[in-house]
Chain A
Amino acid sequence: MSGISRRGFLAAAVIGGASTLVGTPTRGWSANSFDGYPEGMGVLVDLTRCVGCRSCEAACNHEQGLPEPDLPFDDMSVFDQTFHHGTQKRRTDENAYTVVNRYEPEEGGAPVYRKIQCNHCNEPACLTSCFVNAYTKTQEGAVIYDSKVCVGCRNCMVACPFRIPAYAYSSALNPVVRKCIFCYDTRLSQGRPPACVEICPQEVLTFGYRRDLLKTAHDRIRTDPERYIDHVYGEKEVGGTAWLYISAVPFEELGFDTSLQREPILANAQDFLSNVPMVLAIWPALFMGFHRLSTKGKEREEESQSFDREEG
């Protein structure tokens, strides 16, 4: 009996051990509170300045080599477009990494324009949910994506709290995730601001070190408290994002999700992930113990009746 059990235990231990190897690095990665790289860049978006000229959309289109749009970039009728029975405004997709939408504030007044694109989280959910590590948070602050290893499970899209990554569903042979990469390849890595920032006439988009931008954001709110609501969106949301927003209108009226957690999305999975090594370590001994207890005495008898002896 013991022979069989030892073998069995070893087999379990080997498989368990192998999976432990696989499971353990998880802990290292999920070490808490990564506040972003110190030299990480960011963009401060001052929503009070945007006039909805859509130049950023055009600049992005050219910089990223995206296909021709359906409508010209100076066509403002896109602001009236709605989708899914009028519930949704335009969003990013495989042909547009950034999109400007118009909102009418509840208390009246001039419309507010809001540009959406990847917010380049400090601890991105897309990155931590990707099982082939296709995403990288670069030191410059960009969240970039390696289409060469992407399997196409689209978990990143499920995980992104801002619903940014889009998938090239139309492609049969090489469908990949498409999203804003902070112009990493062509600009950011060479110390230049992204194309949208550069084209923006109003400096709605201020490019700089994220830590400086935070100061600037709070400074603008402090010096003009009448103008701004006291919240820098992206400072704390899901662990902080490289793109920060200040606004005169409450964020929830502009389609921002203000119910987001403070912790990075990965924190939610940590409860489970932290149990993985424990299960791997405890289960073999526990269940072998149960096995021994519940089959004690029966084993010998069974052995003698065993069928495979005759065969073996």
Chain B
Amino acid sequence: MKGLLENGYRPIDSLQKSPGGRRWTFTEKMLLGLSPREYLNQVLRNPLNWVFAAVFAVGVPLILYRYLFGLGAVTHSSNDYPWGLFLGFGLFVMVPLSASGFLLGTTVELFGRKDFKPIERLALLNGLLGYFFAVVYLMVDLGQPWRLPYPMFVSWGTAAVLFLVGWHVATYLSVQIMEVSESFFEWVNWPNARAYIKRITIGLTVAGIILSTLHQGALGALFTYAPGKVHPLWYSENYLWIFYFCSSVFAGLCMVIVVSTVVKRTMAWRCDRNFLDNLDRITLGLAKGASMALVTYLVIKLIGIAHDNEWAYLATGWGRWFLLELLLGVITPIILFSVAIRRNMVGLIRFTAFLTVLGIVLNRLNTALIAFNWNLYQEIPHLFEAMISVTLFCVYLVTYRFILYRLPVLYAWQSVPDEVYAVELERGLIPGQELVPAPAYQRIEDSP
């Protein structure tokens, strides 16, 4: 991409190929406005793609192997450890990291904090993809994935928390598809569909909060079925669902910080000025939100220990492991965030956000795998299981990148009518030759 940009490549960000000229075709849009040869060259030049290719070369056959020979062939899932990495990581980690969608939807649409608008779409997309891939992981893990619609249409197990999770994730996934479709409709130029989505945004957002509150919590509540199996320090009959919900707040916010950091570093060409210029300020704002959630989480975790009187466990080996998780994933981030926010150190915020994300990964893996069956024996996931998990994560990254390159998520789509465009062009309001466009007619609501 760097080479192309140096040669004057200008990414597609509007309907027309040139101001007032013919419109981009769908194929051109898919190829980012490059010729097929240029596109292919650009793909091949990127070393990251070779890494992905290597991962897929190993991982995709393994996934096929799993479907041909069953779960037993690729996982260490057993009768004692029914859930392995696919759910432990794929479901229990991906979902909290995807809370960003409902969080920024609420912030921007419901609370009217338009200053977070530039990152809203990234947060929504992050949410959608996280959930979607949680379902993908699930499809690999389910014994009979072709029966996934059964809890919806065939047989209802209404007393089950998982029933709630299933329904809410399915509904929320549809809500998120609708939310993200706004940018898709801009891209394919279906203004009416976009206008419709725009009109029901508030409804979608409220639905998003309800569904997220419930299923983020429900993931925690799932473990209340296994009281003796999850170590008491990670278990709380009364509060586990609140722990999960509360931690999803800072998990989602920190994930957006991490993703936006990666995006800024690796695809700045795709971001518009509005995004790039506002990112530091927004990052600071997100960090404030995250640290509030972190402090709350720390407090309620301590209440949880006190409520079930589990202090004695802290002195054991498991207790040290628990404290380490809290220290790395909660307490250190709280301290670092507070320093960084006070001194305006965006770099430190980004590092801390990354640390917090790791903390959440550790927490969920602890509950689902490591501290699960704590009084039985420790299970190490199968190598193939880890490789398939990594492969799916790479598919997630590729999909993420594919969408960010195309849909107006990091940049604003300039879909003004041709006449207006022509007039504005005439007035010299459009600096068409710049690599990174910052057109004056950009959504006015976006500017701070």
Contact = CB atoms under 8 A, between A and B. Distances in A.
Partners in one complex: yes
Interface of A: 4-5, 7-12, 15-16, 18-19, 22-23, 25-26, 29-30, 84-85, 87-88, 91-93, 125, 127-134, 146, 149-155, 157-159, 161, 163, 165-172, 174-176, 257, 259-261, 265-266, 268-269, 271-273, 275-276, 279-280, 283-284, 287-288, 290-291, 294-295, 298-299, 302, 305-308, 310-312
Nearest to A175: B143
A305 B442 CA distance: 11
Interface string B397-425: 00000000000000000011100100000
B225 A159 contact: yes
A163 B80 contact: yes
B210 A11 contact: no
Given A175-B70, A294-B111, A19 B171 contact: yes
Contacts of A171: 70
B198 interface: yes
B-side interface mostly:
helix
Contacts of B147: 132, 149-152
Contact of A268 (B77, B164, B192, B225): B225
A248 to B, nearest CB: 25
B106 interface: yes
Contacts of A128: 159-160, 225
A157 B143 contact: no
Contact of A308 (B148, B157, B158, B194): B194
Interface residues of B, number: 90
B229 interface: yes
Q: Which of A4, A131, A155, A257 has the most C-beta atoms of chain B within 10 angstroms of its own C-beta?
A: A131
A84 to B, nearest CB: 4
A294 B79 contact: no
Contacts of B336: none
A171 B72 CA distance: 8
6 contacts: A7-B199, A84-B377, A153-B143, A260-B228, A308-B191, A311-B415
Contacts of B211: 15, 19
Contacts of A276: 164, 214
Interface string B195-231: 1001111111111011101100110111011111100
A2 to B, nearest CB: 11
Q: Which of A15, A25, A176 has the most C-beta atoms of chain B within 10 angstroms of its own C-beta?
A: A15
Contact of B206 (A9, A151, A163, A166): A9
B412 to A, nearest CB: 9
Contact of A307 (B166, B202, B228, B443): B443
B209 A149 contact: no
Contacts of B416: 310
Contacts of B209: 283, 287
Nearest to A301: B445
A87 B377 contact: yes
A176 B155 CA distance: 16
Contacts of B227: 161, 261, 265, 268
B67 interface: yes
B144 interface: yes
A19 B109 CA distance: 22
A12 B210 contact: yes
A88 B377 contact: yes
B202 A19 contact: no
Interface in B337-371: none
A4 B199 contact: yes
Contacts of A132: 147, 150-151, 154-157
A151 B444 contact: no
The 10 closest A-B pairs by CB, nearest first: A152-B143, A11-B203, A8-B202, A169-B72, A12-B206, A154-B82, A272-B221, A159-B225, A295-B112, A268-B224
